[in-house]
Amino acid sequence: MEMEKKKRGRPRKAGDTIQFWQFARAGMAMCAYDQARASDEKHWAAVSHAVQFVKQLYPEMPISTTEVKRILAAWRPRNGGTILRFELSVLTEEETKKFHWIQEQLVALPKSEGQSTPLLPEASPTGNPVIFKIRFGERPNYPRHNRKNPKER
């Protein structure tokens, strides 16, 4: 009988991690929210846009306006400086060729049990695969469009 080796360090709590689909949903929602705010949409319209964007990509994924607000509150606190930024990007033909070459190399490697080869992302309406890029960046500031200028007081 083989005993499993005990992992070092403090055990993780269930609340310290999130599932991958929840991380992906948060990224898609924040990306769509940023796109809407960049086109001068108000907060509530950007939240609705984020919900529709996620539902369009993955209709079976649970999402609501309340969930988008929770995502923004958790991932973009008001006093936060540096945050994760998600950007929608369409792969160029050159990047697609590189991805296919990497995929061919991975297929050639011997596989262990339960391991699978990553697939090329789904194609966008333009025909090229779409990916989300993740980077660190400053928290965007979206001032009110009808705010008073400090000089007018």
Q: Which of 117, 133, 132 is nearest to 57 (CA)?
A: 132
pLDDT value of residue 115: 64
Mean pLDDT of 21-49: 93
Asked if residue 30 has pLDDT above 90, the reply is: yes
Section 76-99 average pLDDT: 84
Q: pLDDT grade, residue 118 (50/70/90)?
A: low
Residue 59 scores a pLDDT above 70: yes
Task: Kindly report the pTM of this predicted structure.
Answer: 0.69
Predicted confidence (pLDDT) at residue 2 exceeds the cutoff of 80? no
Output 141-145 pairs: Cβ under 8 A, ≥24 positions apart: 142/37, 142/43, 145/40, 145/42
To which H or E segment does residue 86 belong? strand 82-90
